[in-house]
Amino acid sequence: MLKRTYSYLLVFCCREILGEEIHIKLEGKNDRHLLSKFNALPKDEKFVSFKLMSCYEGIVWFLSKSTDFYNTNVYNHNIYQAHVGSDYNTNAKLVEFKNRIWIDLQRNLGPQVDCNNYKQFWFSWDDGYLMVGKGSIRNQNVLLIYEPKCPFYTEQIGISGSDVLTHWIFNTTNSYTTTQQEQKNTQIGTRYRPTLSCPASRVVLTMDTESKIECLLMCTYDKQCQRAMYKSDTSSNCELMTGEPVRDGTRPNYIPIN
C-alpha cells in the first residue's frame, strides 16, 4: 500500500511537468477509486479518454452518490457501469444497478483489452446518453450507447478492475472532441427531456425524529429508502423516500440531462 501511495505522489509530481497523463494501477476488484481523487475529470465537458491494459475487464462507475463508493453502502444508490473486457474479455457491456438488482442494458461482443499492451477508449455521459467507444475521438468507433428512460444525475465517476492488475492512463488534455460552440448549441436543444412516464421519488414512510442525523440513520435501516428528507418545522419531520428525484422542481415533467 505504501509503495502504491508513493507512485501516486510521483505521478502527480510528473503530471505538473508533462501536463497530460495520469497513471493509475488497481490491484484486485475491491481496489476502486473516484477519478476526482486524481484530478482526472475535465471541468467543462462530460467526456473522458483513457488507455487500459489488463487481461480482464476495467469498469467505469457512473454514480448518483459518491459518499459510499469505498464501502458496500454504494449499493444503496443507483449505479450505471461500463465494463470493458467483461466475461473473460469477450465483450463490452453497460449495466444498471437499480432497486438492488443488476440489469443488463447493452452488450458488444468481441475482445476489448490486452494483457501486454494499452488500448485506447473513451466514455461520455451528457445529452441524456451514456456512451463508450474505442480511440480518443468522441462519438467515433462507438461500442456502447444507451439512453435511459428515467436517468439519474451522475454525481461522480469511479473506476475498478478485476482480480488481476488493471493499468489505466487518463489524458484529458489531448482529448479530441467537439468545439465549445458545438457543445453549447447541442446543450441548448437537448437540455431537458419529457419524463411523463417517469415516477418521482415515492415516500416510503414518515416519522418523528429528534434530528437530521437520526432521520438519515432511519433511512439506512429501511431497504427501500434511498434518501431522506428532514423538515424540522413539521410534525412528521422525517420522510424516507425511494429512488432518485427525476424532476428539477422548476419544469414539471422534465428532467435536466446535462
Q: Encode pLDDT of 64-104 as tens digits.
A: 777 778 888 888 777 899 999 999 999 999 999 877 789 99
Q: Is 149 exposed, middle or buried (0-12, 13-18, 19+ CB in 10 A)?
A: exposed
- Decide if pLDDT at 126 tops 70: yes
Average per-residue pLDDT for the chain: 76
Q: Express each pLDDT in 177-197 by its tens digit.
A: 434 443 333 333 333 344 445
Task: Give pLDDT, residue 200.
Answer: 61
Q: What is the distance between the alpha carbons of residues 89 and 57, in angstroms, rounded to a whole number?
A: 6
pLDDT band, very low/low/confident/very high, at 199 (cuts 50, 70, 90): low
Cβ within 8 Å of residue 195, ≥6 positions away: 149, 150, 246, 247, 253, 254, 255
Q: Express each pLDDT in 35-70 by its tens digit.
A: 988 888 877 778 999 999 999 999 999 987 777 788
Cβ within 8 Å of residue 198, ≥6 positions away: 149, 150, 246, 255
Q: Kindly state the cell numbers that stand for 193.
A: 427531456
- Decide if pLDDT at 106 tops 70: yes
Task: Give pLDDT, residue 175.
Answer: 45
Bridge partner residues of 53 (DSSP)? 167
Contact yes or no for 47/130 (Cβ under 8 A): no
- Decide if pLDDT at 245 tops 70: no
Report field, pTM of the whole predicted structure over 0.75 = no
